[in-house]
Structures are given as structure tokens and as C-alpha cells.
Amino acid sequence: MAEDNKVQGLAWFIAGLGVGALVGILYAPKSGKETREDLAQGAREGTEYLRTRTRQAVDQMGNLVDKGKEQVGDYVDRGRDAIDRGRAHWEEFVERGRSLVNDQTSRVSAAVDAGREAYRSASAPTNTPE
């Protein structure tokens, strides 16, 4: 009896497949050839869509790279300007320092010379009549 149920179930399954195939053929909107052509056309359209999107993405990436290069160039120029300004300030400070040292050196030399002269005149024997 179990085998009869299995055979009967298999028969109903096959009958269902047949009915489904028949209904599919009767209600199919297009023939097999038309369906294959539609599928091929859809694949071609999808391929063209992907090519177009890829080209757009490449163009956008190129634009982003160009903008990035431009911005990096701007930052490099700004950095160079800042370095040049800093170098100019540094050179100005160094020149002020040299000037200050030279001025102080001249003052110290003048003071030492004046001190020597004062010492010489104070320690020189004086010829006084006695």
C-alpha cells in the first residue's frame, strides 16, 4: 500500500508538471525565439549600461585626481611661501643680532681704549719741580 501511494504521488507530480508546462505555453506572451532575443537584448543593454557607467566613473576619478593634484600644488606653494617668509624673518633677526653685536663690540672696544688711556695718563710719571 505504501508503494501505491508513492506511485500515485509520482503520477500526480508528473501530471502537475504537464499541466504547468501546458499553462505556461498557453499563456506565454512571446515565443521562445522572441524570449531569447529579449534576453539577449537585455544582456546587450546591460553591458552597454555597465560600459557607460564605467566611463563615467573613470572620468569622475580623473577629475578627482586632477583636483587633488591641484590642491596639493596649492598647499606646496603655500608651504614654500611660508618657508620663504620664515627665512626672510630669520635673516632679518640674524642681521639685527650682528648689528647689535658689532655695536656692542665697538662700544666695549672704545671703553677699553678709554680705560687704557686713563690708566696710562694716571700712571705716567709726572715731572713736577720740587
The set of residues, in sequence order, having a beta carbon less than 8 Å from that of 38 and lying 6+ positions away, is: 30
Q: How confident is the model at residue 10 (pLDDT cuts 50, 70, 90)?
A: confident
Rg (CA), the chain: 52
Is this structure's pTM higher than 0.85?
no
pLDDT of the residue at 92: 94
What does the alpha-carbon distance between residue 123 and residue 130 come to, in Å, rounded to a whole number?
Answer: 19
Please give the pLDDT value at position 73: 95
Q: What pLDDT score does 25 carry? A: 67
Amino acid at site 60: Q
pLDDT tens across 14-42, in order?
A: 888 888 877 776 677 777 778 778 778 88
Q: What is the pLDDT of residues 54-101, one digit of tens each?
A: 999 999 999 999 999 999 999 999 999 999 999 999 999 999 999 999
Residue 49 to residue 57: CA distance in whole angstroms: 12
